[in-house]
A and B are shown apart, each in its own frame.
Chain A
């Protein structure tokens, strides 16, 4: 009785502290929003300015938006083929990696092949440049440098470990009873995999596909060495912007918006999947 009467005023006294804490938290959250949003907004604004307005700090927000930079990038710099190249490579690398990675992940999960985890980690640990030297040697001696095939092949190196990692943990969480029931009904294991497991795994496959596409789309190093004028992907095309004597800032920002907007839209519309895929590796251990 005395204890409870004592506690009541205590709680009342704590209230102002809670309010201060709440205000501090609100300020903190606003600061976080500001820090992550402003650079992106800045990029977008600069892409809508003329080059005279970009270099004028007084024209922060008071300017008339123009889409001229985008027209320049798409027409004069001919970015459309680069967009297509990036799309072809990311789609191809994702499709083949799914084809190879889904069965492998399933086998790893069902037969508990533990070495496979180490093997996936190995693919993450190796510096890309150390693979590029032998790749460059081999592919240039058989005349394949600059083809879509080589770009897709090398991007699978980025996409497949990701798909195997995400799908292994997904399959592990899937109860095995359904496949067993299907097998008792006479279906082979592979039929059970194709007709029962895969349809049930759509959320996991969606996660793996989205992340794989994003990672391939963003990859810079492999295409920097292995693409040519015709197969150049977007990140390589953008990096060439700064090699000119004077930088066309408006155009550069328009190109940056063009390359980031597709992946950001994907992330916005499939937020749940992207988050679960990005955190898959860490929360399991």
Chain B
């Protein structure tokens, strides 16, 4: 039995089935991401001064990834238009380009951005011990300028065993630029280009540490919500890639031969999903990388 309204629109709504389906799905997606973004707002508004980190992510890499997603949004809408104009070769080229963009985006995210964070370490200093580490925190300088205090010493953990070994009483941290030279005005605000690590190593006693962790979800509410939202977004990118790959298989060629508008409708639907993924990233990028 033929399913009605897969290609031709239903007369009363003017819509074909999948269009209704994808928009209802996107409505549920708005609620899913909406819940997480409202969690972000809640956590950020509730963060004590100094506990919402800034400038920890690589902004140039994030900017390039944003541009890649935008390019893929253009190419997926071009793929759909190519089908409407019965240009199958162009459709396939556009889909391959879109697929490539998605692969690069995920590759950068999972192969570079996330692992760089796993190798980074931060120790939050107890309020009563902060004066002791003034040379790494520079809080007198920040207070004089009316800026939020610095509560964390971060960098590369030189003695990795300290994470697990209770016998080791201190962390040896090769410092980030902000902690190596905390009173430099250059470190008062984040920068576009990541600042190089210093060679200076700080010894931080465990008894002075509130909590310490690699830059993983447990490091802070910031990283917890960062990994949750970018992880869920990454899963959506992966889902898009599976569909793009499917639409490059011979099964789509056969559908095109049978009814090109049916394939065009499917591409419109996968395109709507992909634009939504792009749209979510448009908010993720400034909220986590910039502001």
A associates with B? no
Q: Which residues of B contact A (CB under 8 A)?
A: none
User: Which residues on A are within 8 Å of B, measured CB to CB?
Assistant: none
